[in-house]
């Protein structure tokens, strides 16, 4: 990989994509980033990244804008397709199925068609662990691996925004892997779980909001849900690893730890005792076993969970005032 290699990152101003962009710039890549409005101040952090003034170029394009995507991807040898709609409340009842499915499916097709047109060599598509874990037929005692795929009908029956998001990610990843069978470029998918960590962007992303609600909302009760989690910086490293390793192929689950809400609250209380934690935790019958062994065999490593939590909370509290109890 020469230092003049040019790659594209879709949705460059987002939580994960910002860290991917930062990492790529630090490694000497020239980066084309797509954004709905490159001049919007919410993308201002990208222009402050090290090497951005020389090696970052932002292009106006969204996932429905094929010509805009073609312009951004032209001249690139690789593409990181990160852009995606994410639900702000995983339990809320969905109102519009198209909110997630249309951008995910049509967006993936547009990006991959633009990659084919530009003769891109390698594409890393960011999917989600949501495209893995919604599978009621998977053996309960067997950790979910890359062979496990979410059942679209099961996703639909959830009747929540998160179920709809998982359906969209499942359909989009299936589409990407079908493209991989029949054409160049080489396409790899990576499925991160709940992504926590410090933010480069100014707006708070949905997964960090889940974490911060435990700190600040003083909820009467919260269900003791089980969450596979991963640090945003480790996700960026995983995506670059999948891009750089010649032997990488297929799909990769990207997750570090599985923790329930009760254990997460206990950790937060130990680190930050004076915030407004949930008053009661309700037990639910839920267990998730999931493994990132395939990604680790590729050479991926992840940081301690406490480091992720501390960096996420400290970063958040610098940007948003949280009342203590």
> Residue 123 and residue 260: Cα distance in Å, rounded?
34
Residue 308 lies in a domain: no
pLDDT of residue 30: 98
What pLDDT does 241 receive? 98
Residue 183 has pLDDT above 80, yes or no: no
Residue 153 pLDDT > 60: yes
Report if residue 322 sits inside a domain. Answer: no
Per-residue confidence band for 94, with pLDDT thresholds at 50, 70 and 90:
very low
pLDDT for residue 324: 63
Number of domains in the chain: 1
CA distances from 317 to 48, 91, 179 (A): 21, 25, 43
Measure the CA–CA gap between 149 and 244, rounded to whole angstroms: 25
CATH number of the domain where residue 137 is located: 3.40.50.720
Catalytic amino acids?
Answer: 169
Report the DSSP beta bridge partners of residue 32.
Answer: 8, 57
Rounded CA-CA distance 39/43 in Å is 7
> Could you report the per-residue pLDDT of 193-207, keeping only the tens digit for each?
999 999 999 888 888
Highest mean pLDDT among 37-46, 79-88, 156-165: 37-46
For 58-72, 85-99, 217-231, 234-248, which range has the lowest pLDDT when averaged over its residues?
85-99
Residue 209 maps to a domain: no
Q: For the residues 135-157, what does the mean pLDDT come to?
A: 95
Q: How confident is the model at residue 122 (pLDDT cuts 50, 70, 90)?
A: very high
pLDDT tens for 55-91 read 999 999 999 999 999 999 999 999 999 998 665 445 5
Q: What is the mean pLDDT of residues 135-158?
A: 95
**Is position 130 within any domain?**
yes
- In Å, how far from its chain's centre is CA 51? 24
**Do the Cβ atoms of 223 and 264 come closer than 8 Å?**
no
Looking at the domain assignment, is residue 313 inside a domain?
A: no
pLDDT > 70 in the chain, percent: 93
Q: State the residue range of the domain holding 90.
A: 6-198+229-256+287-303
Q: Does residue 206 lie within any of the structural domains? A: no
Res. 101: pLDDT tops 80: yes
Top-confidence range, 94-108, 186-200, 210-224: 186-200
Q: Find the Cα–Cα–Cα–Cα dihedral 210, 48, 235, 312, rounded to 10°.
A: -30
User: What integer pLDDT is reported at residue 184 of this predicted model?
Assistant: 82
30 within domain boundaries = yes
Specify if 190 maps to a domain: yes
Answer whether 0.75 is exceeded by the pTM: yes
């Amino acid at each position: 990989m020469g230092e003049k290699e040019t790659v594209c990152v879709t949705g460059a101003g987002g939580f994960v994509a910002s860290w991917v962009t930062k990492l790529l710039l630090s490694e000497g890549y020239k980066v084309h980033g797509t954004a709905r409005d490159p001049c919007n101040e919410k993308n201002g952090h990208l222009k402050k990244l090290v090497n951005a003034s020389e090696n970052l170029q932002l292009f106006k394009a969204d996932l429905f804008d094929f010509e805009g995507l073609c312009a951004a991807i032209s001249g690139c040898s690789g593409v990181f397709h990160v852009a995606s709609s994410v639900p702000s409340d995983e339990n809320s009842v969905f109102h519009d199925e198209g909110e997630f499915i249309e951008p995910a499916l049509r967006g993936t097709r547009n990006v991959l068609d633009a990659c084919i047109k530009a003769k891109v060599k390698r594409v890393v598509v960011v999917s989600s662990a949501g495209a893995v874990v919604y599978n009621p037929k998977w053996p309960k005692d067997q950790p979910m691996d890359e062979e496990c795929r979410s059942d679209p009908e099961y996703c639909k029956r959830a009747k929540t925004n998160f179920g709809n998001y998982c359906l969209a990610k499942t359909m989009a990843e299936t589409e990407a892997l079908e493209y991989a069978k029949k054409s160049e470029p080489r396409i790899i998918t990576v499925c991160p779980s709940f992504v926590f960590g410090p933010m480069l962007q100014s707006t708070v992303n949905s997964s960090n909001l889940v974490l911060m609600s435990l700190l600040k909302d003083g909820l009467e009760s919260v269900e003791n849900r089980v969450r596979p989690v991963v640090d945003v910086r480790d996700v960026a490293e995983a995506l670059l690893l999948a891009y750089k390793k010649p032997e990488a192929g297929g799909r990769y689950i990207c997750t570090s730890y599985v923790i329930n809400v009760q254990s997460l609250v206990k950790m937060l209380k130990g680190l930050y005792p004076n915030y407004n934690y949930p008053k009661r935790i309700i037990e639910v019958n839920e267990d998730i076993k999931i493994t990132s062994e395939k990604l680790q065999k590729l050479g991926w490593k992840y940081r301690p969970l406490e480091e992720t939590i501390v960096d996420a909370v400290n970063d958040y509290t610098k940007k948003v005032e949280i009342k203590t109890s």
